[in-house]
Amino acid sequence: MSFLEKMQKRYTVKKYDSQVKVDPEKIDELKAILNLSPSSINSQPWNFVFINDQQTKEKFSEISYHNKEKVIECSDLIVFQVLKNVEDFEKQMHENLPEGAIAYYNSMVKPKGDLEIKFWMRNQVYLSLGVLLSACADMEIDCTPMEGIMPDKYDEIIQNDVYESIFAVAIGKKSETDSNQPAITPKRRLVSDKIIVEL
């Protein structure tokens, strides 16, 4: 099956089969793929928290709004976090990035102020989300990206003072009764002629 065909099959899962767990080798592969995610100037201002313990997932489910059942039923929950403080990011940057990347940051990003820097860092984390969703499609792992969480409450459970949560992704095996799957509810996308432009 081609990657295009896999992308045509993927969708946002609404109901999981709680009896099916993602193979640990595939989890390790996803971790390695996330570690390879691209980011502007290779900034990597992120942290990825993997949760598969059922009791811990149930704690997260209570602070996940309408995503409660997905968090309980999924195989694994992945929480995407970003560095809280600009100072911590700049320290990491000076320890890991080459002079050219630092010069770009100092001239193009830093002058915009802390609020814009934090926005820029969050954008990098969203790049890694795209990588994960594509990897899941290719590996035939069902998934649900979720902004419908309480990030502050997630942080209280994770207890990492350096990072803060932005969103989460549930992964696992879809339930055959999930009404959101394309065989039951066809995908709806804008007509490609309206969004794909050639100059």
Looking at residue 50, its pLDDT comes to: 98
- Tally of structural domains, the chain: 1
Q: Are the CB atoms for 51 and 79 separated by under 8 Å? A: yes
pLDDT in tens, 19-42: 999 999 999 999 999 999 999 999
Mean pLDDT confidence for 177-195:
93
CATH of the domain at 65: 3.40.109.10
* Domain enclosing residue 67, as ranges: 3-195
pLDDT in tens, 104-140: 999 999 999 999 999 999 999 999 999 999 999 999 9
Whole-angstrom distance, CA of residue 109 vs CA of residue 120 = 8
pLDDT in tens, 47-96: 999 999 999 999 999 999 999 999 999 999 999 999 999 999 999 999 99
pTM: 0.96
